[in-house]
Amino acid sequence: MTPHDAAQRIARIALQMAEVLPPSDRWVPAALLRRVRDPHADLDRLLGLKGNGGRGGYLGSPIPERNRRLRELAESFAGPTSAKADHLLERLAAGDPAMLEIDRLARIPRSNRQLLRILADT
């Protein structure tokens, strides 16, 4: 089998996979198709296994888990989101063990504005 034949076969299989998969899972065959069509494309990046320039939207990123934990902590406080962000930053500055654990997972932004963005992003 030549490389060209193999590429066509992979493309055909990926298209068949896309037809039977639910819409939320169709990104995998789409990544394979993109890789077959562009041999210079980075398959790890297409599959979400490699970082994407610091944006944190890849499978190995600790940032989504950090954001989830921060939102869970913020839900336990009463008041508006800005007060929750202030309270979280105060706890971090005071050396709260729960906040330090989250900070070790992925650094918590020290800016009130960035923390507000994380808490508001649902």
Quote the mean pLDDT of the chain. 81
- Report, as an integer, the average pLDDT of 13-20: 73
Q: At 11, is the pLDDT very low, low, confident or very high (cuts 50, 70, 90)?
A: confident
Angle at 108 between CA 104 and CA 112, to 5 degrees: 160
What's the pLDDT at 9? 78
What pLDDT score does 49 carry? 67
Check residue 116 and give its pLDDT.
92
Question: What is the structure's pLDDT at 52?
Answer: 56
User: Which residues are CB-contacts of 103 (< 8 A; sequence separation ≥ 6)?
Assistant: 92
Indicate if the pLDDT at residue 122 is higher than 70: no
Q: Residue 8 pLDDT more than 90?
A: no
For residues 80 and 56, what is the distance between their CA atoms, to the nearest angstrom?
27
pLDDT (0 to 100) of residue 55: 56
Buried b (16+ CB within 10 A) or exposed e, 26-62: eeebebbbebbeeeeeeeeebebeeeeeeeeebeebe
Q: What does the alpha-carbon distance between residue 114 and residue 122 come to, in Å, rounded to a whole number?
A: 14
Q: Is the predicted pLDDT of residue 94 greater than 90, yes or no?
A: yes
What's the sign of the alpha-carbon dihedral 64, 68, 69, 71?
Answer: positive
- Tens-digit pLDDT profile for residues 37-93: 887 877 777 776 666 565 555 566 788 889 999 999 999 999 999 999 999 999 999
User: Cβ–Cβ contacts within 10 Å for residue 77, how many?
Assistant: 15
